[in-house]
Amino acid sequence: MTETPTLELKVLRSFSPLDGLKNENLRALARKTVLRELGQGRILFKEGDADKRTIYLVSGAVDLLSEGRIVGSLSGGSSEARHPIAPILPRRCTARVASDRIEYLSIDSDLLDVLLTWDQTGSYEVGELGAAGSGGDWMTVLLQNRAFHRVPPANLQAVFMRMQRVDLTAGETIVRQGDDGDYFYVVVSGRCAVTRETPLNREGIKLAELGMGDTFGEEALVSGATRNATVTMIADGVLMRLGKEDFNLLLNEPMLRWVDYTEARRIVAEGGRWLDVRLPSEYEHCHFDRSLNVPLYFVRLKLKSLEPLIPYVVCCENGRRSSAAAYVLSERGFDASVLRGGIATTDLAEALNAVG
């Protein structure tokens, strides 16, 4: 299979319902889509596949098979090929290349659904919602984030409309550890360093480096606590920021999934895992059996050590810190739920292991 690096808009416009997208939204989709090729006899997808991809045949021909028998065929450029191939999941047939080769598009179905819905809920296009000179690609990055698929399209439109542009130079501090939280930030251009001071390191430990489309500042807004890290510009850049009240109304609540103790135990029993974001000293005093301890201020640093396919139930003493951690995890594509009310509301005698 090979890929060509550019995709002309006229290719996307030849398919339904892509031909209904506004121009700027279509350009945003084009930046995230490539024209792919597959040779004769190769399998495009198999019967029973449930991968959430929307697939269009651009050129060539495919045979559609059910239980090994050909039940249909499709040729690029035909009226039938204007629509996605076997869109119902799980796939009800296998698609096999019948010609020497085919050209096709494979688009993330969730991203496409968000773009189509958002496109039809208002008169604004991605470019019109962006800050002057900043472009709209950072918006596409956010829309591609699976956590944002839980946010109503009207909310997303309001988010982009209410954001403020901030121009910054290298070395400027955006948020400082210990300050009150006031804004949620998105990096439009440039790069930022996230550091945290400790008693043994006053200069700060570098936790992460952020670039275009990355976000920060949500932990303090969700938890109501002070900033747990300092963020400084590494290079000149542009940020967009959203005030605390708008953030909580438009993003926080839609993105968080709260579960009670009974539901949390069911998730863990079926292969999920407890993620305790309290301090190590709190964790050592009492914790859920076989739980993983990652203090809130280390969550970003430890993202790569977490299993992306495991559902996590995030917990802390009362739900405040765990909700902040769950927001970060959801934003990064993890399946994260928050234990409502926190550990303090659970049956300690049954559910916790007391240590010391």
pLDDT tens string for the chain (356 positions)? 444 444 788 899 999 888 877 777 788 788 888 899 999 999 999 999 988 899 999 999 999 999 999 999 999 999 999 999 998 889 999 999 999 999 999 998 877 776 776 665 443 434 433 433 344 567 777 776 666 777 776 677 788 888 899 999 999 999 999 898 899 998 989 999 999 887 676 677 888 899 988 888 888 887 777 888 899 999 999 999 999 888 888 887 777 889 999 999 999 999 999 999 988 877 887 889 889 999 887 888 888 899 989 999 999 888 878 888 888 888 788 999 999 988 877 764 344 433 33
**DSSP string for residues in 179-225:** SBP-EEEEEEES-EEEEEEETTEEEEEEEEEE-TT-EE-HHHHHH--
- Number of other CB atoms surrounding residue 293 within 10 Å: 16
Res 224: pLDDT: 75
**Residues 71 and 65: beta-carbon distance below 8 Å:** yes
111 and 147 Cβ atoms separated by less than 8 Å: no
Task: Give which of 136, 116, 262, 247 is closest to 188, Cα–Cα.
Answer: 136
pLDDT at 119: 60
Determine whether 50 is exposed, middle or buried from the number of CB atoms within 10 Å of its CB (0-12, 13-18, 19+).
Answer: exposed
Contact between 99 and 63 (Cβ < 8 Å): no
pLDDT value for 217: 87
| Predicted pLDDT at 248 | 82
Q: Half-sphere exposure (CA, 13 Å, Cβ side) for 314? A: 27
In order of start, what are the domains of the chain with their CATH numbers? 2-111 (2.60.120.10), 126-253 (2.60.120.10), 256-354 (3.40.250.10)
Segment holding 255, helix H or strand E: helix 253-255
Q: Name the token pair of 220.
A: 């303090």
Closest CA to 18 of 119, 129, 154: 119
What is the predicted pLDDT for the residue at 234? 96
Residues 334 and 312 sit within 8 Å (Cβ to Cβ): yes
Distance CA 163, CA 140 (A): 15
Residue 16 · residue 74 · CB < 8 Å: no
CA distances from 328 to 78, 187, 301, 321 (A): 45, 15, 11, 11
